[in-house]
């Protein structure tokens, strides 16, 4: 099969690498345009190292991008980490159709932040789906899925890079083999049980100190490394990363700083304490201990980010 890969970043690179190593015929790669002063996208570097033509357009919906895709005449399109809108004129053009990677167990967690929300919601299982995209948002039939456990201390970063990233590359490579063999299924999604969440952004990461400590810890994990769960203390807006949760009964008000040390600082929550070892303040991510030693004292109170 003549395969076109649309993608970007490390995941897209690994997909091209895996397909090539498996003997699949990747005839072209579409990726975002180069950025001035930045290194070439990893997927572009991988494609060039394999003498695979690379095509770059600002938007895949533009006429020149669609025309370039159609002129290649691929048998299959593989979408590997695509954040741009890809029109149906591209999705439906290949003889064997188009498949796409999504880091959740569809129909659960449709939407753009599907790794963040299962962690934030305290779930213990997620996975990856390879599906046939249609005109809806993550609504197309399923080709294959693989499950992954969410550990009690997993962050978005650890869950993605240690589990969902390699599972996704493996699943795409297996899916392409099934398509080549003519035995790839198209299993309709159960739309009645579908869930959807939009972007997990800065607003969604604001900590509500009145909630359970486990929920606050889940929010911090589900916003690490982006966008970063946040709170205010005095005039400082602080984003929390690399947290640890210790369950313990106490009567200290939630949001109170209870310790400051070289490793970081602890904050009381309902049902325990959360140790923060990395913070981001004024755009810089730094060790929490060094920042706290200058800016925090025991008894200081973190509040929700309600200041402008």
48-99 tens-digit pLDDT: 999 999 999 999 999 999 999 999 999 999 999 999 999 999 999 999 999 9
3-state class (DSSP) for residue 108 = coil
Q: Please, what's the b/e burial string for 273-306 (b: 16 or more CB within 10 A of its CB; e: otherwise)? A: bbbbebbbeeeeeeebbebbeebbeeebbbeebe
Has residue 199 been placed in a domain? no
Range of the domain at 265: 213-295
In a domain, 161, yes or no: yes
Looking up tokens 């997927």, which residue turns up? 43
Any idea which residue has 């159960």 for tokens? 190
pLDDT tens figures, 190-249? 999 999 999 999 999 999 999 999 999 999 999 999 999 999 999 999 999 999 999 999
Are 16 and 5 a contacting pair, CB within 8 Å?
Answer: yes
Judge if 187 and 218 occupy the same domain.
no
Tell me whether residue 215 is exposed, middle or buried, using C-beta atoms within 10 angstroms of its C-beta: 0 to 12, 13 to 18, 19 or more.
middle
Quick one: what percent of the chain has pLDDT higher than 90? 99
Task: Count Cβ atoms within 10 A of the Cβ of residue 61 and give its class: 0-12 exposed, 13-18 middle, 19 or more buried.
Answer: middle
Q: Same domain, yes or no, for 100 and 142?
A: yes
User: Do residue 179 and residue 234 come from a single domain?
Assistant: no
Write down the pLDDT at residue 305.
Answer: 75
Task: Give the torsion sign (CA, 14, 18, 21, 24).
Answer: negative
* Whether 189 and 228 share a structural domain: no
Query: Are both 124 and 78 inside the same structural domain?
Result: yes
- Do 284 and 188 reside in the same domain of the chain? no
- Rounded average pLDDT over 170-196: 98
Check which CATH number belongs to the domain holding 275 and give it.
3.10.25.10
Question: How confident is the model over 281-296, as pLDDT tens digits?
Answer: 999 999 999 999 999 9
Q: How many domains does the chain have?
A: 2
Q: Is residue 203 part of a domain?
A: no
Picking from 193, 226, 243, the residue at the C-terminal end of a domain is: 193
CATH number of domain containing 158: 3.40.50.170
Pair (119, 88) in one structural domain: yes
Phi–psi pair at 253, nearest 5 degrees: -60, 140
8 occurs within a structural domain: yes
Q: How many CB atoms lie within 10 A of CB 34?
A: 13
Is residue 302 domain-resident? Answer: no
Rounded-to-10 torsion of CA 73, 78, 82, 88: 50
Q: Does residue 201 form part of some domain?
A: no
Question: Looking at residue 306, what is its pLDDT?
Answer: 62
- What average pLDDT does this structure show over 158-172? 98
Q: 72 near 37, Cβ under 8 Å?
A: no
pLDDT value of residue 281: 97
Tell me, what's the pLDDT at 205? 97
Q: What is the dihedral of CA 175, 180, 181, 186, to 10 degrees?
A: 50
Contact 179, 94 (CB under 8 A): no
Quick count: other Cβ atoms within 10 Å of Cβ 135? 10
State the residue for tokens 């005449």.
73
Cα–Cα–Cα angle for 256, 257, 260, rounded to 5 degrees: 170
Residue 141, token pair as written in the block: 């039939």
* Beta strands 142-149 and 125-131, pairing class: antiparallel
pLDDT band at 307 (very low <50, low <70, confident <90, very high): very low
Q: Is residue 7 situated within a structural domain? A: yes
Together in a domain, 288 and 176: no
């Amino acid at each position: 099969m003549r395969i076109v890969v649309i993608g970007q970043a490390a995941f897209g690179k690994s997909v091209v690498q895996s397909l090539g190593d498996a003997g699949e015929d990747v005839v072209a790669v579409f990726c975002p345009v180069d950025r001035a002063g930045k290194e070439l996208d990893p997927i572009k570097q991988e494609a060039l190292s394999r003498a695979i033509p690379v095509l770059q357009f600002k938007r895949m919906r533009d006429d020149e991008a669609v025309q370039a895709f159609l002129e290649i005449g691929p048998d299959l399109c593989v979408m590997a980490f695509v954040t741009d809108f890809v029109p149906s004129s591209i999705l439906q053009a290949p003889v064997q159709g188009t498949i796409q990677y999504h880091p959740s167990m569809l129909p659960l967690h449709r939407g753009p932040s599907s790794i963040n929300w299962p962690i934030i919601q305290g779930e213990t299982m997620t996975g990856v789906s390879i599906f046939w995209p249609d005109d809806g948002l993550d609504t197309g039939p399923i080709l294959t899925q693989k499950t992954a456990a969410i550990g009690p201390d997993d962050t978005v970063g650890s869950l993605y890079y240690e589990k969902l990233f390699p599972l996704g590359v493996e699943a795409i490579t297996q899916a392409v083999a099934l398509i080549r063999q003519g035995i790839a299924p198209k299993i309709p999604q159960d739309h009645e049980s579908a869930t959807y969440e939009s972007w997990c952004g800065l607003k969604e990461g604001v900590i509500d100190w009145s909630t359970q400590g486990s929920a606050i810890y889940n929010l911090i994990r589900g916003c690490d490394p982006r966008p970063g769960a946040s709170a205010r203390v005095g005039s400082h807006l602080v984003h929390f990363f690399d947290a640890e949760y210790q369950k313990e009964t106490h009567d200290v008000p939630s949001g109170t700083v209870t310790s400051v040390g070289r490793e970081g600082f602890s904050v009381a929550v309902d049902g325990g304490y959360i140790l923060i070892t990395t913070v981001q303040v004024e755009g810089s991510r730094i060790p929490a201990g060094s920042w706290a030693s200058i800016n925090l004292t025991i008894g200081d109170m973190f509040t929700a980010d309600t200041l402008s």
